[in-house]
Chains A and B, each alone.
With several copies, the nearest count.
Chain A
Amino acid sequence: MDKLLELWQASGIYNMQFGQLTMIIVGLLLLFLAIRKNFEPLLLVPIGFGGIMANIPEAGLAFSAVENAVHFAQPEVMQAMAKALGLVSTDPHEVLHAYHGASAAAHDAAVNVAQDSGYNNGMLYNFYTVAIASGAAPLLIFMGVGAMTDFGPLLANPKTLFLGAAAQFGIFATVLGAVTLSMLGIMDFSIQDAAAIGIIGGADGPTAIYVASMLAPQLLGAIAVAAYSYMALVPMIQPPIMRALTTEAERKISMVQLRHISKNEKIMFPILLLILVALLLPDAAPLLGMFCFGNLMRECGVVDRLSDTAQNALINIVTIFLGLSVGSKLSADKFLDVQTLGILILGVVAFGIGTACGVMMAKFMNRMEGGNAINPLIGSAGVSAVPMAARVSNKLGLEANPQNFLLMHAMGPNVAGVIGSAVAAGVMIKFVG
């Protein structure tokens, strides 16, 4: 009978907290959006599922060994833990707090106590450590994205890089928005938090995760969910802004056929980009370095089997672990917070501003050059969100003029946006990292 009670008291129903229940529902909602509404399913299916698993009561899948030990809070374990952390109190909350702020040596000592008491890291915690805390997973995804990227349209029309630059204004405007909210006492974001939130406006998943894991790991879950959700919402967020800022005539502008790009130019471009990064912004080197490496593997033509693996088996494996790891950060105490609301609002503002700046920049460039070379609809593609944003440009172009295929032209600013937000990420890591 004791055993029956024990089973019951260890069950999920008995231990379910309101926050956990809510987060499980959030996880189910993410799965619904991913599966039924096609919101970036490759990421949101693993993230949603990981979020549900992370919130299973008593399973502790997203907890470290020490966190699991503190959760069960056996007196003798708390005593040993307090001693390892140099605390007098054995109150679980204080122990946990001390653990999170501990020096590396005290951290090790606490881990030793937890292991001696038979507690282990949860599965998702291990995945997070290996995939995200090490920085490896976002970088490998970026390598795979590089191996999938064709810089041809950008090389055919390099000035579209300016569109990719302009659209990054969304990032920095959002940073300013976040610090303003803090100033007004509405939210409580540090400058690191603000920078990590801003990067949502970069519309680039791995960059957002990489920056958030370095600057604001506690906001990682919300930031990743916002970034991928808004990328999926690009076809809804962008068109009204694009229509509002352009005239019918502008939307009808046809662009000249792109010139053919030689193999050698495509090989040289990632090398050139890497050298520029090396000379100007070493802090962007991991992100852009891996991106260029993937692209060079694609274009050089002599390592097709590596390029193929980077685009398929490797990126798929990493995506599974990355998604589950992000999901492990969807804990109630961090996600069910007014900050998440702030992040969601700031995120959509960032997307909007980025879109608007891209379009305005295109119009400005036309005026500067005194011509009509650029259809301003391709400016919005500068936020990245490859290839969704370019498709949106194309769709609006076709609406205005059924012969006006903008897809290839929009791919230029689209990939420029990837470079632009990686550069922005480097600057932020440099200044507030």
Chain B
Amino acid sequence: MQNLLSEGLTLMVFGMGFVFVFLTLLVFTTRGMSALVTKYAPDAAPAAAPKPAAKPAVAPAGNNDELIAVMTAAVHKFRS
């Protein structure tokens, strides 16, 4: 029984410790990544290029929603 408690304590110490170590590492690597990306691979051209090249075989939901939003607005205007 004492054993169970010690297992629980160990789990808490190591678990919580590991969570912090992991997320701390994530904070630093994320910052590093952001810095690198901002410096060497800003969005501008590269992000714009692939988009149109992708074949939108099906109109993705997002676009659809946007379209509908635009049209609803237009229709509302039209009605008023």
As a 0/1 sequence over residues 39 to 77 of chain B, the CB contacts with chain A under 8 angstroms (1 = contact) are 001110011001101101110111000000000000000
**Quick check: A155 and B34 within 8 Å, CB to CB?**
yes
Docked complex Cα distance between A423 and B19 (Å): 6
Which of B14, B25, B50 interacts with A276 by CB under 8 Å? B25
Q: Say yes or no: A41-B54 contact (C-beta < 8 A), given A172-B11, A265-B33, A428-B11.
A: yes
Provide the main secondary structure of the chain B interface: helix
**Residue among B8, B24, B33, B62 facing the most chain A CB atoms (10 A cut-off):** B8
Rounded to whole Å, the gap between the CB of A128 and the closest CB of chain B is 26
- Indicate whether A268 sits within 8 Å of B37 (C-beta atoms), given known contacts A175-B12, A427-B14: yes
CB distance from B66 to the nearest CB of A (A): 13
Task: Chain A residues near B42: list those with CB within 8 A.
Answer: 262, 264
Stretch from A21-29, A69-77, A115-123, A178-186 that touches the partner: A178-186
Q: Which residue of A lies closest to B1 (CB)?
A: A183
Kindly identify which residue among B5, B29, B60 contacts A179, using a CB–CB cutoff of 8 Å: B5
CB within 8 Å: A-B pair count: 158
Q: Is the CB of A155 within 8 A of B23?
A: no
CB-based contact A431/B11 at 8 Å: yes
- The smallest C-beta distance from B56 to any residue of chain A, in angstroms, reads 7
Q: Given A179-B8, A180-B5, A428-B11, decide whether A161 and B23 contact each other with a Cβ distance below 8 A.
A: yes
A140 interface residue (CB < 8 Å to B): no
Determine if B60 and A308 form an interchain contact, defined as CB atoms under 8 angstroms apart. yes
Task: Determine the distance from Cα of A301 to Cα of B61 in the docked complex, in whole angstroms.
Answer: 13
CB distance from B38 to the nearest CB of A (A): 7
Contacts A263-B43, A304-B60: A419 and B30 contacting too (C-beta < 8 A)?
no
Tell which of B9, B15, B20, B34 has the most Cβ of chain A within 10 Å: B15
Selected contact of A191 from candidates B7, B20, B22, B47, CB within 8 Å: B7
17 further A-B pairs in the complex, CB-CB below 8 A; given A158-B31, A175-B12: A3-B10, A38-B54, A158-B34, A168-B15, A171-B15, A176-B9, A183-B1, A191-B4, A191-B7, A194-B8, A269-B30, A272-B26, A272-B33, A301-B51, A308-B58, A308-B62, A428-B11
29 A-B interface contacts by CB (under 8 A):
A35-B50, A36-B50, A148-B57, A155-B34, A158-B31, A162-B23, A165-B22, A168-B15, A168-B16, A172-B11, A179-B7, A180-B5, A191-B7, A262-B43, A263-B43, A272-B26, A272-B29, A276-B22, A276-B29, A280-B21, A304-B62, A305-B58, A311-B61, A312-B58, A416-B23, A420-B19, A423-B19, A427-B14, A431-B10
